[in-house]
Amino acid sequence: MSENGFRSYYGRPILKEPTWTWEIPTYFFTGGVAGASAVLSTTAQLTGNEKLARTALYIGAAADLVSPALLISDLGRPERFLHMLRVVKVTSPMNIGSWVLLVSGGASNTAAALELVGRLKPVKLLAEGVSTLAGPLLATYTGVLVADTAVPVWHEARRELPWIFGASAAASAGAAASMFVHPRDAGPARRLAVAGVLAEGALMQVMERRLGTIGEVYRQGEAGTFSRAAKGLATAGAALLATRGRKSRGAAVLGGALVCAGELSLRWAVFKAGKQSARDPKYVVESQRQRIERDGTKATTKR
């Protein structure tokens, strides 16, 4: 019964692995792109960078179209996707997320459409305003979504995850924009990408250190592979953007692509880490036993 220090039931998992499939980590990425792009677009507009504003707007709108599609296809009963809007539940990040996605998606696509046809300017401005408010939420709530579970490596990282996801969103939005905007106008996008990558790198460090043993899954198995890939790709892309992004269009495109790939891998790393963490009863038992040790008492619900 007692393998390496902790006891379990024939080594069987205590938690159930998340049933989510490839769509979800991919959505984390597209949602991030959509959310951050909205902010990028508006800010660009306010600072008179029309080209960047328009491109970011279109990128955001596109990402806002893909995202719900991904979510729906992951459902066990896709035909019931509207049930998400049956209620408003502040206790359910996924429910709130659905509303946010509805608002931000609706707004950004209205704005993009009006931009395209070039009419109803005030409505467009309103729509942009709305999506600018919704965007940052869309970009960060997914961090809460995964943190709000019993999976140790997710729940114990509840402080860092929204920040990491936000930084990752910023990086990918910036990178995406700098791929499609002429380097001359893509300065802010590049800086955003680079800054995002740097910030996220630092935050990952903090998170893994704080997680201790629980965090080891980020260095093991598929999660390990993805987080290493994420680091490598993002850093390389950021470096390229920083050094040659202003001069060479090609470098900008490649750099942007690398950063996007890196951010996608990051979401996959987090996703896989969750599965691995749920699979091994050790993380549940040890983290809870340690907590009892630390607090000298069992947990309570002070909500």
Question: Quick check: 17 binds other proteins (CB under 8 A)?
Answer: yes
Question: Quick check: 209 binds other proteins (CB under 8 A)?
Answer: no
Q: Which of 154, 180, 268, 271 binds other proteins (CB under 8 A)?
A: 154
Smallest distance from other proteins to CB 215, Å: 17
Phi, psi dihedral angles at 205 (to 5 degrees):
-55, -55
Distance CA 89, CA 97 (A): 10
Smallest distance from other proteins to CB 120, Å: 26
Stretch that binds other proteins, among 35-43, 61-69, 111-119, 228-236 (CB under 8 A): 35-43
Q: Quick one: 118 or 294, whose CB is closer to other proteins?
A: 294
User: Residue 256's closest CA among 96, 38, 39, 55?
Assistant: 55
- For strands 6-7 and 2-3, give the pairing: antiparallel
User: 260-289: which residues touch other proteins (CB under 8 A)?
Assistant: 274, 278, 281, 284-285, 288-289
User: 173-202: which residues touch other proteins (CB under 8 A)?
Assistant: 174, 184-185, 187-189, 191-192, 195-196, 199
Q: Answer yes or no: are the C-beta atoms of 258 and 236 closer than 8 Å.
A: yes
Question: Quick check: 144 binds other proteins (CB under 8 A)?
Answer: yes
Q: Which of 80, 119, 121, 219 binds other proteins (CB under 8 A)?
A: 80
Angstrom CA distances, 15 to 147, 240, 288, stand at 15, 42, 13
Q: Answer yes or no: are the C-beta atoms of 151 and 274 closer than 8 Å.
A: yes
**Angle, alpha carbons 173-250-194 (nearest 5°):** 35
Stretch that binds other proteins, among 57-65, 112-120, 158-166, 236-244 (CB under 8 A): 158-166
